[in-house]
Amino acid sequence: MNRITVRIPTPLRSYTAQAAVVTAAGTTVAEVLADLDRQFRGLRFRVVDEQNRLRKHMKIFVGEESVRDLATPLTGSVELTLMQALSGG
Amino acid sequence: MLLVGTRKGIFTIRPDLPGVVADPALLGHIAQHVVSDPRSGRIVAAVGTGHLGPTVMWSDDLGTTWTEARRPPAFRSGERLERALRATFWLTPSVATEPDVWYLGGSPQGLFRSDDAGDTWSPVDGWNDHPQWETWCEWPDENTPDGSMLHSINVDPRDAKHLYLGLSSGGVFESTDHGADWAPLNQGCLASFAPVPDPEFGHDPHCVRLHPQRPDRLYQQNHCGIYRIDRPSDRWERIGDNMPTDIGDIGFPIELHPRDPDTVWVFPMDGTDVWPRTSPGGRPSVYRSRDAGQSWEACTAGLPGRAWFTVKRQAMTTDLGDPVGVYFGTTSGEVWSSVDEGDTWSCLAAHLPEIYSIECAHAS
């Protein structure tokens, strides 16, 4: 299965043994998040709520595009970036 | 040892070492409630961050190391109302007859239960899916700026099936069947902000405490006054009417003496105008009753003459000492202590982040 490079923001690195970049398998954002949770138990629920919605203040970029639909397909060598919405200081 | 939950992590403070504050645990995490289990010594914390989903952490070494719950509290996936928990807010260990059971209240106003000392959590369906839940919780309205919350979970030590909880807003509710069914318990409480002043529900309890030695007695600090109820009566009595009129009886916390059911402490706040929630006149004062609320006395010795902080609903507690130690934490990051049941006060710690909760740790 497609291996996707995933960039992890600092608030989630307690789950990845401080790794800033990891890889996960999947052909959609949802599949990658599920694989991340298999590798790093508990990470997904901090990002996605129990109704499978991206949490209000979290963002996911597929390449350079911000997406909120977890069914978004991932093709080729695209990177996925998890980040927090930023405001002010 | 005191467990201090703050907007920026968890601090532990020894009352016998004033001014000594160890480095925080979980720095940067919002710790709404950090509670020690008197049955085991385990500490369980309701935490979150501004961005990440809510969770629970626990520690078996007095807060030195922390482990995240394997299954944090959450509503059921795919449920009809599509609720998602935004914050874990209140923690209550159950009683001795069910030693690994804990309850958690959240925002929105869900109730969750753990049967393994806080490691995995399940929704209490009898509450979360009660036919009246949407009505009692005014779903989907969010009536407070920080979100409506479920708090003040009390378990009857004689009967673990007998539960009370508080909703801000919504009122006090009671279950006698382990949470399978619930009923409002608000008669006698004022809801001066409501279209009718004495509705069946819709009140705003801020903090409700059941007395461990006399479980038929509960005290309540409400948005609209201080109350006491002695079951089986279904009617709360407004004991705050006995407070000085220039102080009033608005506040967040209410704390009980661990042995004497007639002794109670409150921390009045200014509930006039736009509700500053600071002390009336900017003069911080604990008030104590020794006669179940028939009369009150100010306990100010040692407290600052003028200050503008707030004491939140989980930010006051008592220990089991004789005399009882009383503690409160402020939104300005100070911890105040009295070793003589409120007669005199001293500052144990300052310059902490905004304090959300204070509880005493039990030996493990």
Query: Each residue of B305-317: pLDDT tens digit?
Result: 999 999 999 999 9
Q: What is the pLDDT of residue B318?
A: 98
- Residue B242 φ then ψ, to 5°: -90, 0
pLDDT more than 90, % of chain B: 90
Chain A nearest-CA distance from B29, in A, is 10
Among A48, A53, A58, beta carbon nearest to B51: A58
At B197, the pLDDT band (50, 70, 90 cuts) reads: confident
Give pTM, 2 decimals.
0.95
The mean pLDDT of B77-102, rounded to a whole number, is 97
Chain B residues touching residue A47 (CB < 8 angstroms): 52-53
Cβ contacts of residue B223 below 8 Å, gap of 6+? Answer: B168, B169, B191, B193, B203, B204, B205, B206, B250, B271
Rounded Cα gap, residues B97 and B103, in angstroms = 14
Q: B213-236 pLDDT, tens per residue?
A: 999 999 999 999 999 999 999 999
A42 to B72: CB separation less than 8 angstroms, yes or no: yes
- Residue B277 φ then ψ, to 5°: 65, 10
Cβ contacts of residue B42 below 8 Å, gap of 6+? Answer: B36, B58, B59, B60, B117, B118, B364
The DSSP output letter for B279 is: P
Q: What is the pLDDT of residue B364?
A: 58
Question: 3-class DSSP state for residue B89?
Answer: strand
B68 to A42: CB separation less than 8 angstroms, yes or no: yes
- Overall domain count for chain B: 1
Rounded Cα gap, residues B185 and B234, in angstroms = 7
Element containing residue B127 per DSSP (H, E): helix B125-128
Among A12, A50, A84, beta carbon nearest to B84: A50
Q: What is the pLDDT along chain A (89 residues), one digit of tens a residue?
A: 689 999 999 999 999 999 999 999 999 999 999 999 999 999 999 999 999 999 999 999 999 999 999 999 998 889 999 998 876 55
Concatenating the DSSP letter of every residue in B219-255 gives: EEEETTEEEEEETT----EEGGGGS-TTT-S-EEEEE
Q: What is the pLDDT of residue B142?
A: 65
- pLDDT reading at B272 higher than 70: yes
Q: What is the pLDDT of residue B17?
A: 87
Domain coverage including residue B18: 2-360
ipTM: 0.89
- pLDDT reading at B247 higher than 90: yes
Q: What is the pLDDT of residue B193?
A: 85
The mean pLDDT of B53-70, rounded to a whole number, is 96
Q: B162-184 pLDDT, tens per residue?
A: 999 999 989 999 999 999 999 99
Domains of chain A: 3-84 (3.10.20.30)
Size of chain A, expressed as the number of residues it contains: 89
Chain B nearest-CA distance from A53, in A, is 9
At B93, the pLDDT band (50, 70, 90 cuts) reads: very high
* Contact in structure between B63 and B27 (CB atoms under 8 Å): no
- pLDDT reading at B192 higher than 90: no
Look up the CATH number of the domain holding residue B34: 2.130.10.10
Q: What is the pLDDT of residue B145?
A: 73
The mean pLDDT of B82-100, rounded to a whole number, is 96
- Cβ-Cβ contacts under 8 Å between A and B: the total is 50
Rounded Cα gap, residues B251 and B354, in angstroms = 17
Cβ contacts of residue B91 below 8 Å, gap of 6+? Answer: B33, B34, B35, B44, B45, B46, B56, B102, B103, B104
At B196, the pLDDT band (50, 70, 90 cuts) reads: confident
The mean pLDDT of B307-332, rounded to a whole number, is 97
Structure tokens at B166: 């508080």
The mean pLDDT of B127-156, rounded to a whole number, is 90
Structure tokens at A76: 């080729």
Pairing of strands B205-210, B217-222: antiparallel
A49 to B72: CB separation less than 8 angstroms, yes or no: no
Nearest C-alpha in A relative to B55: A46
The mean pLDDT of B7-31, rounded to a whole number, is 93
Q: What is the pLDDT of residue A65?
A: 95
- pLDDT reading at B60 higher than 60: yes
At B143, the pLDDT band (50, 70, 90 cuts) reads: low
Q: What is the pLDDT of residue B262?
A: 98
Amino acid identity at A40: F
